[in-house]
Chains A and B, each alone.
Chain A
Amino acid sequence: MLTRAAVLTAAALALSYVESFIPVPFPVPGAKLGLANIVTLIALCTLGARNALGIAVARVCIAGFLFGSASSIIYALSGAVLSWAVMTLCRRRCSVVLTSVLGGIAHNAGQLMTACAVLKTGALVWSYGPTLFVLGTLTGLFTGLCAAQVLKRLDTRRRTETE
């Protein structure tokens, strides 16, 4: 269990790093694909909610210290934690892809709320909110489809191992 969690954290860190090389054609500067969310989803489905939270928080903190700044961590963390909470609630009823879409929207909502708290104004919700909602849906859809593919292969492998 601990080994798997550590491997997933390392995979998430690698994805966070790889992501910085992918140019994003999004209209909002600073928007990212959120590839590391693939790992959070896989952890949520295979290791349970608690481990998924641990992996997500560890990844955000380490990635923040390695590639980002201290101030960027609070945005990443608020997004990651809110997204984890929403995905944990959804996972029981929804498919991986829908869970990921809702998680993507929640991630952006969390970051937007933190940004409003830092600036002490709600003006950002009106100006960035709608675009972030659409972007969260699209990136969530993409990471969800990726995670679903990985999970499908993990499942068949485990089945053949036990046979």
Chain B
Amino acid sequence: MKKKEIWIVAAILIFGLMIQQVSARIRKPGLQARVTVDNAVVDTLDLSRPAQKEYVTPYGTNTLVIKDGQADVTAADCANQICVHDAPVSKEGETIACLPHHLLVEVIRD
């Protein structure tokens, strides 16, 4: 690898880290969690009110828990369990996606 390319890789990395940090920091605290399946809104929950709900989609079932102002998917009957391992979300624009079930939990402000 030439010296020039080391700088290009470094620049790409710094650019990426900047975008990542900026996008994480400018997020405002969210107010509601919107649940969609195939981009159709299924439910909207207040983050301030603790709740536990189960969503049955044509593809499978997910359990969503609202606690301490955060939304978290705690159970799913899909194969990969990625949405279950995903961290809880609380800021505007943050998401938890369950791709096998086409289900998306999205934090919004209004």
Contacts and interface: CB of A to CB of B under 8 A. Distances in A.
Interface of A: 27, 29-30, 69, 71-72, 75, 94-98, 101, 105, 115, 118-121, 123-124, 126-128, 130-131, 133-134, 137-138, 141, 148
Contacts of A133: 16, 19-20
Nearest to A148: B1
B104 A134 contact: no
25 contacts: A30-B82, A71-B100, A72-B80, A75-B99, A94-B5, A95-B2, A95-B5, A98-B1, A98-B5, A115-B97, A119-B39, A119-B99, A120-B38, A121-B36, A123-B93, A123-B95, A124-B97, A124-B104, A126-B23, A127-B93, A128-B97, A130-B16, A130-B24, A133-B20, A137-B16
Contact of A128 (B5, B8, B95, B102): B95
Contacts of A115: 97, 99
A130 B104 CA distance: 18
Interface size classification for chain B: 20 to 34
Interface of B: 1-2, 5, 8-9, 12-13, 16-17, 19-20, 23-24, 36, 38-39, 79-80, 82, 85-87, 93-95, 97, 99-100, 102, 104, 106
